[in-house]
Amino acid sequence: MNLLHFTEITTILCFFTSSCMAQTLTDGFPMYNCYGVIFYSENVLATAILSKRTANGAMKGYPQIYVGTNLGGTAPHTIFPISNDTLFDSSSSQPFYFLIVDSKGLQVGMAYLGLDGYIQC
């Protein structure tokens, strides 16, 4: 296979993946508003399922144990990166928004990565 064809195929697949991801990010109803950034139910539920199925630290250090205040559900809670239009902080390659999940895999809140660590929305 010609390298040029491989590059073209890779580009097409990248665009296809991006367009599919963009459609699913706004499916369902608005579930969380994290300082003006809206997260929709289909995306939140898919992230909660992925978080529950993933062993602690298996995906680049996530899910991680999270200790927060006023959280419902059953402890221990974990945080897991959630997709949105600005998944990564522009100044680093770290995820920026996180779903907080209880030990049963149910979503109980959102957080973002601030200068002082994780801040609940």
Mind listing the pLDDT tens digit for each residue in 26-79?
A: 788 999 998 888 899 998 998 888 888 888 888 888 899 999 888 999 999 999
Tell me if the pTM is above 0.85.
no
Per-residue pLDDT averaged across 10-16, rounded? 42
pLDDT of residue 89: 43
Positive or negative, the Cα torsion across 40, 44, 46, 47? positive
pLDDT of residue 96: 84
Angle, alpha carbons 40-25-110 (nearest 5°): 45
How many other C-beta atoms are found inside a 10 Å radius of the C-beta of residue 4? 8
- Supply 1's token pair: 């296979």
The Cα–Cα gap between 111 and 121 comes to 5
17 membership: H or E segment, kind and range: helix 3-25
Q: Look over the chain and give the mean of its residue pLDDT values, rounded to a whole number.
A: 77
Above 90 in pLDDT, residue 120?
Answer: yes
Domains of the chain, earliest start first:
28-120 (3.10.450.30)
